[in-house]
Each structure stands twice: as structure tokens, then as C-alpha cells.
Structure 1
Amino acid sequence: MQCNDISTHNLPKRPLRIFVHTGEVSGDMQGSLLVAALERQGAQQKIAVEISAMGGSRMAAAGAKLIGDTVSISSIGFFEALPHVRKALKLNRQARQHLKAAPPDVVVLIDYMGPNVAIGNFIRRQFPKVPIAYYIAPHLWVWATIPGDTAKVLSIADRILAIFPEEARYYQSKGGQVSWVGHPLLDRFADYRPELAKREARQRLGLAPSDRVITLLPASRQQELTYVLPIMFTAAQQLQTQIPELKFLVPLAREAFRETIETAFKQYGLTGQAVAKDEQMLAISAADLAIAKSGTTNLEIALMEVPQVVMYRLNRLTAWVAEFVLKFSAPYVSPVNLVNMEPIVPEFVQWEATPEAISQMALNLLNNPDQRQKMVEGYRAMRGHLGSVGVCDRAANEILELAISNAVCAER
């Protein structure tokens, strides 16, 4: 798209239309930070913006007009996705109807590969001149196993806004137009002070300074209540047998999980409590150790400098297909280890994710100050490779630039 003059003086009288498409709890969180930055940068540049989104409640709270809630249907695996197919198709239709009714000036895709490729292909057919920015592109540089996946992403992305250095290098090497903006969680934890945060979190949660606290983070998807929670809670049960005074906190990624989590506390005889979604940072800050499923939360825990053990499990059939049919393999699954491709945090995935292995590693971390300190030093080294503060504003400015260019060209 080439225009000689893309100054804001030539913008249409209506607000710039920005459409953001994502799913899952982490995508909703990252999307909310981006929405806030788009609003902020638009105001600073005196550009009116109108942001609509497929995402979740956090993006809506940040100011986006929510067209449909995609967080509730997020899943990993072929068979796990089947119960959500009808709702996913309905949400896809809602998104397409909205886009036809209010054609965007720019589209932003966040993670969430399958649905994002589908909506990206629709944009390419329906609005071929509308630019698409892929923010937090799929981790194909780690686990690309299906031929053509990278080409699918590059075919729909006019610009990739990369958050990991290796992500930027990978997509650039494949011919993508890439900007490395850094990791958005840096903005969220720019002023975080671990010791102070721990004291304040314990006060607010009614915990004593001397309490020994482990925070469990088992689920942000429905399927994880089935496959991850039992393993994690059994490991916690074993730890409590070893250290009876332990207290456990479980932040709720979704309020709909409360009954299942509270029932599990009773079933496994754990001492502790479930805490609300908006208290997740408090629950992590208050902890001496976290046991977490793999995902963006691992990076949050690292930036809070809390030692952690990472685990994940899928449906056995899904895992078998991935390993033996698709030949899926990845050196690491936790974002903490992916930054420098180094084993900063211990990972127990699928067949290795046993309660005994997880509880033993957790016990070692709890009782070995040197091992805990080594992990914290690894966190600090990793943080230095995530970029610099101001990530969301940099990403927002690139997106606004694409929107302005498209809007000005469209007026001619």
C-alpha cells in the first residue's frame, strides 16, 4: 500500500476502526494491555479510535467493544476442541458479520493460531487492502511440525509484532515483515518489587509472614480441570503429607471454575483457599513456590521472582497422536525456558508429569535456598532478553500507523 501523504490531517472524519481477534485467558490479558495502549496512544496523537474485539472480559474492561467471547471455548488438542465446534462456528459467523457491517482499518491477531488463520483468510478475501498485524505470532519457531503452518501465518500477516527475539529471527528468516517490540509483560511488572509485594500480598490475603505458602495454577481451559488438576492436586497432597503446615492458594482463571476447585480442596484434603481472578497476582506474590501449568503464567511468575515447577498433561489419545503421528517435539514448553532456550524452570510434560516427580522437585526447591536463588538469577538474566519497558505502546503505534495508512489510501 503506497500513499505519498499519510498524515493524520487526511484521516476520515470517523474514528479509526481497529478489530482485535484472540482467545484464551492469556490472549485476553495481552489483548487488554494492547487495547489500553491503543486508547492511550490514540489520545496522545489526537486520533479517535474505535476498537472491537473477539476476546474476553479483560479486553472489554479495557475499552474494546466485545463482539463475542472466545475465551470460554479455548482448548488444546484435536479431541478437546470437538465439544466447542458449534459455538466456535457461531462466533466465527458473528465476527464476519461484524466486519462486513463495519469494515476495519486494521486487523490485529493475537496468538490463537487456528481461528486467527481462519479469520485472516476471510479478511484477505473480503477486504484485500486491509492490513493485518499478527501480535504474538504462533510459536512455530519452537514446535512447527505440520508442513505449511508458517506459510499460512505469513500469507495473512502484513506485519508480525514479535515478543521473543527468536520469534523475530524465525519469521524474518522466512520472509516476514517483522518488528521486535519486546514482551508486553515487562510493562505490567515495570515497577514490581518482589519482597515488598510479598509482604503486602500476605497482609491482604490474611497470611502470616511465617506461613509456608504454595500457589497452584492448574487451569485456564475447561479441559485442564480434567487432565492437569488431579495430577497437580495429588502432588500438593503429597507435599502436605511431608510439610503439614503448608497452605495452598489457587487463583481462579475463570469464576466458572470455582465449584470444581473448591470441591477439589475438600477431596484432596488440602489446607488453603481459592481466590478470585483479580487476586491472581496477590496469590503468586504471596507464595514461597508456585506449581503451574505451562503458559504465559510461567512468565508472570518469573517476573515476580517466585520459584516454580511447570507441568502439563493432555488427553492421552491427543498426546499419542501428537508424538507418534505428527512427530511433535519441542525442547521446552514454558515461555521462561523459551526466551533463551535454557532450562531455567523444571518442566514435567505428559508422561513425565507424575505427582511424585512434581512433589519431589517442589520439595527440593522449598528446602534448598541455593536452588531457589539459582532460579531467581536465571529469571533476572532472562528478563534482560525480553526487551525494554514500553512494549504495548510500541506495538500500538505500529498498529495505528498501519490503520492510518490504510484509511488515508482508502479515501483517495
Structure 2
Amino acid sequence: MSHAAPLFTLVAGETSGDSLGAGLIRALRAHYPQARFEGVTGPLMRAEGCESLADIEALSLFGVSEVVGQIPRLLRLRRRLAAHVLSARPAAFIGIDAPAFNTGLELRLKSRGVPTVHYVCPTAWAWREGRTRHIRRAVDRLLAIFPFEEAFFARHGIPVTYVGHPLAGELPRHPNADTARRALGLEPGARWVGLLPGSRGAEVSRLGRPFLETARWLTRRSPGLRFVAPMANARVRALFEADLADYPDVDVTLIDGRSREVMRAVEVLLLASGTASLEALLAKTPMVVAYALSDSNYWIARSLSLIKTEHVSMPNLLAGRALVPEFLQQEASPDFMGPWLYRLLHAETARRRQIDAFDGIHARLALDADARAARAVVDLVEARP
């Protein structure tokens, strides 16, 4: 194939992957203006001119029960994609996240001579480290979005390039709380605390009440505090509203979506561990993080040593230390979370310790990930005869 007009096949697994794919396509076009793109796409990738072989919704699955029921269909889709790619022989196949689907596909393609790239490292550094053997056989180049991932995968003999995190390049280094409050219609003079109990029903079922109990704990010690909770979807809102009915003494404003604006608007955050903790870090908002699996899942994960890391929240993983308080399982209660939130509301030194560290991490993540990822793909393509 001519390097002047190469074909690239990209398979994205969810909304975040659609955004990564679109940015990568734009950056690859700077190197190859005549390049063609195809794959499993979302609306952002299609807007960049990527031909759709299947819609991203085909891979967007949550929860074991959903996945199990879909396995036959997913295997058929993977076989169809493999046959297509082996026929089309693209300059590179790029799997974006969705490791359960993509690394199996990459393994098949790499063994047949198609260069493979996997964008966003599987979390083998956190659990199931044995997956690294499979990844090493499946990928020619792994693209890491967090700096600590590069050393981990390199140690396992996997070619890896740290490209930075695209979100760190998109979000402002110095966000303005007043602007966010005006945009959300929140009273500018009040003291606002953000509650983010999670984006999935199971999380909200476990954390909704502990978060509201903690809000009550704070209200009794700081009268006049106001709380705002962005709701990820209608199901989450219904669950949280049902809990909220038992807390008439707590002033909570519910907002549909707009979690990033809420993060910028408030003084402190209480949130479920996950992607939200990275977004909160980039918003420079002091936080307390809670994490709750079902008791049986947590017991299995710990007893089988599936969880490898000392910390669970992204700010602490990126800092390499206990930068933000984390409260797991039974410790996710007002007795533990309340005093820390109170401290972050009232002690400037505790606030500054988090905010200054967040700013330094933001700088290390903002490296123009699209351009660096494209450069790594180009280097792989150009190294081929």
C-alpha cells in the first residue's frame, strides 16, 4: 500500500473512544491528507470522514449480565471485522479501548501481518496482571494516556508510548467557578458542595444514602451549605431522588448531566471513584473519593489478589501517594467522609495541598495527545517495508 494514501481501520468501544478516534483521525490527516479511515464508529468519528463498518453502540455494554447475553453477537461481529480487515490490509489497525473485544481481534490480525495499535492501556496494572502476556502477543504498539502506565507495560516487554491525556489538553488549566455557577444558575454567594454518587445504578444504590448522610453531617456543622448533584441519566436520577426523599433537611439541587460544570462550580466534591475523579482533578476542585463494590465482589477481588494497587482513585495513582482521601466499602460513611470534607471547606492549607498537586499533574498530562498518538502510528507505518 502507498504511504501517500494509507487506509486505517479503527474500532472504538464507547463514547470516550469515539472522541479519541476523532482526534486521532484529524492528527493522522496532517501526515496523510489522502488517508482513508473506516471502522466501528461513533458520530464524532463519522464527522471526521470515517466510514462506518458498524456503530459504536454495538460495543457499548455495561455489566456482566448484559455482556454474557451478547457474546454470540459480539463474536460474530469480531469474525466479520477480522475477515474484512484481512481482506482490506490497512496500513494499521487501531483498537481504541474496549480491550476484551479489541485485543482478541488484534491478536488475530497481528499474527497475519497487519500492524496493530491499541490506544488506552488495559488496566492490567490494577488487576489481572497476567493479561500482559496476551497484550504482548496482540499489539505492535500500545498508546498510554497516563505516565505510570508506560513503565509498567515496558517492564512486561510491550512496546509502549506515553501520549498524554486528551482531556487535559481540552480543559482549562485555571477554570473559573463564578462562570460555572452562572451557567448552571446556582446562587453565586452560597457555599456549594458537589455530590457525584456515580454514573451507574449499582454505584448509586450503594453510595446514594452514605453521600446524603454525609451531606446531613456537614449541614449540621456548617448551616447554609448547599449541595448540587449532577445526574448521569434518568435511571440514576430516579434512584437518587428516592433516597433524597428521606433527607428533607438537606438542600440538594439536582442537575441533568453537566458534571464538568458542576465540578468547576463547587468548593469541594464527594464523588464515586472512576473517570469523574480525573475530571475533578482537572477542574482543580478538592475532593473526597468513595468506592463501593458489592461485598461479595470486593471479597473476591481482595482474596484473589485481583486488585494490585495501593490506591483506587486516579488522582492518587497519578500522584503516586495518598493525595486525596479514599474511603472504601464500610468506610464510605459520614463518620469518615464528613470530617475530611469539613476540613477541605474550612482549612486553606488542606485545600491548597490538593489544588497545587492537581495543577502539576494537569501540566504533565497535557501533551497534545492526538498529535503524539498520530506520530506513534506514523512511525509504525513508516517502519514497514
Query: TM-score, normalization: structure 2?
Result: 0.86
The 5-angstrom pairing of residues 85-104 of structure 1 reads 85-101=68-84, 103=88
How far residue 200 of structure 1 moved from its aligned partner, in angstroms, is: 1.0
Cα distance between partner residues in 1 of 2:20 and 2:306: 35
Give the letter aligned to residue 116 of structure 2. Answer: I
The 5-angstrom pairing of residues 388-403 of structure 1 reads 388-399=366-377, 402=380
Q: State the SS of the aligned residue for 2:227.
A: strand
Counterpart among 203, 220, 243 of residue 224 in structure 1: 203
Alpha-carbon contact 1:161-1:395 (below 8 Å) kept: yes
Larger RCO (CA under 8 A, 6+ residues apart): 1
Alpha-carbon contact 1:30-1:184 (below 8 Å) kept: no
Aligned to 1:340: 319
User: Does 30-39 or 116-125 show the bigger shift?
Assistant: 116-125
Alpha-carbon contact 2:154-2:160 (below 8 Å) kept: yes
Alpha-carbon contact 2:18-2:43 (below 8 Å) kept: no
RMSD of aligned C-alpha atoms? 3.0
Counterpart check, 1:306 vs 2:285: yes
Cα distance between partner residues in 1 of 2:44 and 2:241: 24
Cα distance between partner residues in 1 of 2:30 and 2:234: 33
How far residue 259 of structure 1 moved from its aligned partner, in angstroms, is: 2.7
Closer, same or farther in 2 for the Cα pair 1:231/1:107, shift >3 Å? farther
Counterpart among 227, 234, 238 of residue 248 in structure 1: 227
| 1:350-381 deviation digits (Å, cap 9, x = unpaired) | 24322321222112211212211111112123
Closer, same or farther in 2 for the Cα pair 1:82/1:45, shift >3 Å? same
Q: State the SS of the aligned residue for 1:73.
A: coil
Alpha-carbon contact 1:163-1:180 (below 8 Å) kept: yes
Aligned to 1:73: 61
How far residue 306 of structure 1 moved from its aligned partner, in angstroms, is: 0.5
Counterpart among 193, 196, 211 of residue 174 in structure 2: 193
Aligned to 1:211: 190
Cα distance between partner residues in 2 of 1:31 and 1:39: 12
Aligned to 1:120: 106
Cα distance between partner residues in 1 of 2:36 and 2:292: 41
User: Does 85-94 or 62-71 show the bigger shift?
Assistant: 62-71
Counterpart among 250, 274, 292 of residue 254 in structure 2: 274
Alpha-carbon contact 1:36-1:63 (below 8 Å) kept: no
Cα distance between partner residues in 1 of 2:227 and 2:37: 42
Q: State the SS of the aligned residue for 1:233.
A: helix
Aligned to 2:139: 157
Alpha-carbon contact 2:197-2:208 (below 8 Å) kept: yes
| 1:5-25 deviation digits (Å, cap 9, x = unpaired) | x7633x36xxx24222334xx
Alpha-carbon contact 1:33-1:62 (below 8 Å) kept: no
Give the letter aligned to residue 48 of structure 1. Answer: A
Give the letter aligned to residue 142 of structure 2. Answer: I
Give the total of aligned pairs: 379
How far residue 71 of structure 1 moved from its aligned partner, in angstroms, is: 7.1
Cα distance between partner residues in 2 of 1:384 and 1:256: 36
The 5-angstrom pairing of residues 38-77 of structure 1 reads 38-42=25-29, 45-53=32-40, 65=52, 67-69=55-57, 73-75=61-63
How far residue 271 of structure 1 moved from its aligned partner, in angstroms, is: 2.4
Counterpart among 116, 121, 125 of residue 137 in structure 1: 121
Which 5+ residue runs of structure 2 have no aligned equivalent?
none
Counterpart check, 1:21 vs 2:5: no
Aligned to 2:3: 8
How far residue 402 of structure 1 moved from its aligned partner, in angstroms, is: 4.4
Q: State the SS of the aligned residue for 1:263.
A: helix
Aligned to 1:263: 242
Q: State the SS of the aligned residue for 1:155.
A: helix
Give the letter aligned to residue 21 of structure 1. Answer: A
Cα distance between partner residues in 1 of 2:300 and 2:229: 31
Identity of matched residues, %:
26
Alpha-carbon contact 1:34-1:395 (below 8 Å) kept: no
Give the letter aligned to residue 39 of structure 2. Answer: S
Give the letter aligned to residue 121 of structure 2. Answer: A
Cα distance between partner residues in 2 of 1:136 and 1:264: 36
Give the letter aligned to residue 399 of structure 1. Answer: V
Q: State the SS of the aligned residue for 1:202.
A: helix
Aligned to 1:177: 159
How far residue 169 of structure 1 moved from its aligned partner, in angstroms, is: 1.3
How far residue 323 of structure 1 moved from its aligned partner, in angstroms, is: 1.0
Alpha-carbon contact 1:211-1:246 (below 8 Å) kept: yes
Closer, same or farther in 2 for the Cα pair 1:405/1:150, shift >3 Å? same
Cα distance between partner residues in 2 of 1:158 and 1:254: 38
Closer, same or farther in 2 for the Cα pair 1:254/1:59, shift >3 Å? farther
Cα distance between partner residues in 1 of 2:47 and 2:16: 11
Aligned to 1:78: none
Cα distance between partner residues in 2 of 1:321 and 1:225: 21
Alpha-carbon contact 1:32-1:62 (below 8 Å) kept: no
How far residue 86 of structure 1 moved from its aligned partner, in angstroms, is: 0.6
Closer, same or farther in 2 for the Cα pair 1:89/1:280, shift >3 Å? farther
How far residue 310 of structure 1 moved from its aligned partner, in angstroms, is: 0.9
Give the letter aligned to residue 124 of structure 2. Answer: L
Give the letter aligned to residue 8 of structure 1. Answer: H
| 1:5-52 deviation digits (Å, cap 9, x = unpaired) | x7633x36xxx24222334xxxx3254144234135416641333243
| 1:287-308 deviation digits (Å, cap 9, x = unpaired) | 1111111122212211211001
Give the letter aligned to residue 19 of structure 1. Answer: L
Q: State the SS of the aligned residue for 2:245.
A: helix
Cα distance between partner residues in 2 of 1:135 and 1:246: 42
